[in-house]
Amino acid sequence: MAFFTDAEVTLGSKLLEIIYMLTGFVTIYTGIKNLRDPENPSRIGTAVFWTILGVIISFGRWIPATVVGLLIIIMCIPAVLKKVKMGNVQKMTVEETKANFEKIGMKVFIPAFVIGAGALVFAVFTDLGALVGVGFGVLSSAILLMVLLPSNKPAVIINDAERMISTVGPLSMLSMLLACLGSVFTAAGVGETIAKLVSGVIPKGNITVGIIIYALGMMLFTIIMGNAFAAITVMTVGIGAPFVLSYGADPVLIGMLALTCGYCGTLLTPMAANFNMVPVALLDMKKRFTVIRNQFVIALIMITFQIIYMIIFH
């Protein structure tokens, strides 16, 4: 309780920690439910993965770093051995879906809107942060779902959350791993290393070539890391700052478009699991790279336009 009673810890941090704990509890529930599911072909491996992940998410702040590292190694063993499976999932029938739509109609999109609105309102009008806003939006949307359709009891919502987690599988933790990878790359000085390598390629003072390499580097590095936010730190230190911004380019314009150049890489990589692999799992697509293949041309058009825009208006 010392964390929550500490006056030096901001209210936003305390609320965010509560949201992490609730998220972890749902993940732990996923592990326990699969452990008790006789139809799950790998009950123990599935339970070990989700339960440990839930414990880390809920109580990682109070667990020693060495212990967390050991737990992560243990947690990853079932995932590596492909022993994390989805058990029995109760899906709604077509008739139930149609009946619910007749009751709710297009109002079903209101809870989804509330989640985004919560993040925006909290980010702009409070000091609590967008993540707290997302958590508030999720809880508010759950209440709205229960109001719109009384059959949506808390147990229904929790089981639907478990179904989503089980369907996505171990890919759900990829975003966390990639965020950690970006921090490790930055701390290891990867940006400075890239700057030394690129300095022999980019003519000194040629901002046009610098912009092109910066933009393409953002796309390629995001393909590798799967996360444009992690890539932009490394690429800005290595290329953006010394070969573009130092020559007088507008940092606001370059920064915004560099990030969207990274998003072009997001469209092309399986490492961006939330965007390109999760839909495949949820929709049970037969070809794993269907989403990426359909986004390929769009990504090339976007990166070309953004490079030209930066060169003209930098």
* 142-145: Cβ within 8 A, 24+ apart: 142/111, 144/110, 144/111, 144/114, 145/111
Looking at per-residue confidence, does 161 or 286 come out higher? 161
CB atoms within 10 A of CB 213: 19
| 132 closest CA partner among 15, 254, 211 | 15
Q: How confident is the model at residue 276 (pLDDT cuts 50, 70, 90)?
A: confident
Q: Give the pLDDT confidence score for residue 302 in this predicted structure.
A: 93
Q: Give the pLDDT confidence score for residue 179 in this predicted structure.
A: 67
Percent of the chain with pLDDT over 70: 95
Looking at per-residue confidence, does 54 or 101 come out higher? 54
Does 143 score more than 70 pLDDT?
yes
| 223 closest CA partner among 270, 171, 183 | 270
| 4 closest CA partner among 231, 16, 287 | 16
Tell me, what amino acid is at 209? V
Tell me, what amino acid is at 136? F
Q: How far is CA 63 from CA 29, 55, 67, 122, 304, in A?
A: 20, 9, 7, 29, 47
Mean pLDDT over 114-139 rounds to 88
- Contact indicator for 220, 271 with CB cutoff of 8 Å: no
In angstroms, the CA 162 to CA 130 distance is 24
Q: How confident is the model at residue 309 (pLDDT cuts 50, 70, 90)?
A: very high
Helix segments in the chain, DSSP class H: 2-5, 11-35, 43-59, 65-80, 94-104, 109-125, 130-148, 154-168, 174-187, 190-198, 207-225, 228-235, 241-243, 251-266, 273-276, 278-282, 290-313
- Provide the residue count of the chain: 314
Q: How confident is the model at residue 1 (pLDDT cuts 50, 70, 90)?
A: low
Does 156 score more than 80 pLDDT?
yes
* SS3 state at 278: helix
Does 297 score more than 90 pLDDT?
yes
Q: pLDDT of 126-136, one tens digit each?
A: 888 888 888 89
Place of tokens 């003209």: 312
Among 24-38, 236-250, 277-291, name the one with the lowest average pLDDT.
277-291
Tell me, what amino acid is at 147? V
- Contact indicator for 313, 297 with CB cutoff of 8 Å: no
Looking at per-residue confidence, does 177 or 44 come out higher? 44
In angstroms, the CA 265 to CA 190 distance is 19
Q: How far is CA 185 from CA 231, 234, 242, in A?
A: 9, 7, 18
Q: Quick one: which H or E segment has residue 296?
A: helix 290-313
Q: Give the pLDDT confidence score for residue 87 in this predicted structure.
A: 79
- Contact indicator for 132, 20 with CB cutoff of 8 Å: no
Q: Average pLDDT of the chain? A: 84
Mean pLDDT over 75-91 rounds to 83
Token duo for residue 40: 């799950």
Looking at per-residue confidence, does 183 or 63 come out higher? 63
The alpha carbon of 18 is separated from its chain's Cα centroid by a whole number of angstroms, namely 19
